[in-house]
Structure 1
Amino acid sequence: MGAKISTSGSAKRGTFQTNAEPNIIPFVDVMLVLLIIFMVAAPIATVDIKVTLPESKVLPSKRPPKPTYVSLNNDSGSATYFVGNNQVDPMEIGQEVLKEVPRNDREADTLEKIITTRIYVRANTDTPYRNVVFIMNRLQEEGFFKVALVGEDTRR
């Protein structure tokens, strides 16, 4: 607490009234001194020390191959089929997927590796299920048995 030096006329001479306002000047002085100390000490904490670390024995992981998508767009009742970004004839979906998989996965160089690749099928919500089954049948006729349906992620 502080005290008032000047008094109003009602107080006795020689007495001081108490003042409820905090005196923050010493607090500010201490904070400025601490700020200067930390500014000087901070560069000292970042001294470079030469450390010889052991070499890693872990091989870097391979980048997963780009997925191959077969998409079905049902605009105004007519179905449009896509392999990757290219529009294809519905009867040639299997052949186009055989060509698309090696473009997306460089390790799929043999027919066995190509047909064991997972193919992702996606379609609009208003698409009849028979069109999706049609795509799956075309893929199965070419030997693709790893077919996955893509759903919308509703988690938010």
Structure 2
Amino acid sequence: MALRLDEGDTELSEINVTPFIDVILVLLIVFMVAAPLSTVDVPVDLPGSSAPVSQRPEEPLWLTLTVDLDLMLDDSAVAREALGAALDAKTGGKRDTPVFLRADRKVDYGALMQALNRLRDAGYLKVALVGLEDAP
């Protein structure tokens, strides 16, 4: 005895990928918009340098001196008096950790020297000055 299937009882053997493609396109757009936002740093106009480019560590410790003469440790503002304590908290008290100092090109030399003096007073002597690579 043969079973007879009505037209409404047939199974589809094809996969409908249209919803999957829609989801992937939406995720792609979300990541395209969100990726630049996650890499935004403290805005600073760095001066150029002709020094050879050195290898960047995996997790650098950034200290930024903005055009308004504010100190930023990574992405958070730090009071000048609390710089040593903030650095100790960030490094776990390891004072041989290199600190990458970025300063806006409009910052005067005296303010840069004050930041360097505060780093020295806090015991952080490994300081690298960061600049943009000049074209030859």
TM-score range, shorter chain: 0.5 to 0.7
2:60 partner letter = P
**Can you give the 5+ residue segments of structure 1 that lack an aligned partner in the other structure?**
1-63, 103-110
Greater CA radius of gyration, 1 or 2?
1
The Cα shift of 1:92 comes to 1.4
Give matches, 1:64-83, under 5 Å.
Answer: 64-74=57-67, 78-83=68-73
Deviations 1:5-27 (A, max 9, x none): xxxxxxxxxxxxxxxxxxxxxxx
Give the percent of matched residue pairs that are identical in Structure 1 and Structure 2. Answer: 24
Structure 1 outlier segments of 4+, above 2 Å: none
Deviations 1:131-152 (A, max 9, x none): 1111111111111111111111
Pair 1:97-2:87 in alignment = yes
TM-score, normalised via structure 2 length: 0.54
Q: Aligned partners of 2:135, 2:83: CA distance in 1, in Å?
A: 32
Q: Aligned partners of 2:95, 2:116: CA distance in 1, in Å?
A: 13
Q: Aligned partners of 1:132, 1:97: CA distance in 2, in Å?
A: 17
TM-score, normalised via structure 1 length: 0.47
**Aligned pair partner of 2:78 in 77, 88, 93:** 88
Q: Equivalent residue for 1:143?
A: 123
1:83 partner letter = L
Q: Aligned partners of 2:84, 2:133: CA distance in 1, in Å?
A: 27
User: CA contact under 8 A between 1:84 and 1:100: conserved in structure 2?
Assistant: no
RMSD, aligned α-carbons = 1.7
Q: Aligned partners of 2:126, 2:58: CA distance in 1, in Å?
A: 15
Give matches, 1:106-125, under 5 Å.
Answer: 111=93, 114-125=94-105
